[in-house]
Chain A
Amino acid sequence: KAGVTQTPRYLIKTRGQQVTLSCSPISGHRSVSWYQQTPGQGLQFLFEYFSETQRNKGNFPGRFSGRQFSNSRSEMNVSTLELGDSALYLCASSLTTGGTNTEAFFGQGTRLTVV
Chain B
Amino acid sequence: AQSVSQHNHHVILSEAASLELGCNYSYGGTVNLFWYVQYPGQHLQLLLKYFSGDPLVKGIKGFEAEFIKSKFSFNLRKPSVQWSDTAEYFCAVNNYNQGGKLIFGQGTELSVKP
A-B interaction: no
